[in-house]
Amino acid sequence: MVKRHLVIMDFRERLLYQQIHPAKLLTDWCFGLLSFYVLWQQQLALGIVVAVVPAIVVSILVLQFADLYKYKKSRLGIYVHKYVNTESYATRLFGFVVGAGGAWYHMPLLVAVGIVLVALGWLVGAFRN
């Protein structure tokens, strides 16, 4: 039987690496896009709930229960450690707001621009090398 040693990660590290957990990524993208649909239907409160609540719940669960050390040591974890910073967070948030505004005002091009901005927020490191 192989014993796995317990690796302690501080809360700041866990916050960083929880972003690349598959459950978190899937939740953020799926419910983010679903919130655009709800906003397109002019349901502001429900759109905000759909965008925010699942993301918070999954973050709490991943932070509490997931083994994030393996994500830290992955290629994606190394990338996130090196390139994900306040600028990339801001770009992703701005992209989401642009996309949500596009959904609210029925502007598909603006929704697409918002989605591209979110993706660019994740890919910021690809442009730095």
| Residues 35-70: tens digit of each pLDDT | 999 999 999 999 999 999 999 999 999 999 999 999
Q: What is the pLDDT of residue 1?
A: 47
- Structural tokens at position 124: 């910021």
**pLDDT exceeding 90 applies to what percent of the chain?**
88
Tokens of 28: 């953020």
pLDDT of residue 129: 61
pLDDT of 128 reads 74
CB 38 within 8 A of CB 45: no
Instruction: Chunk the chain into consecutive blocks of 10 residues (it has 129) and report each block's average pLDDT, rounded to whole numbers.
Output: 63 96 98 98 98 98 95 95 93 98 98 97 82
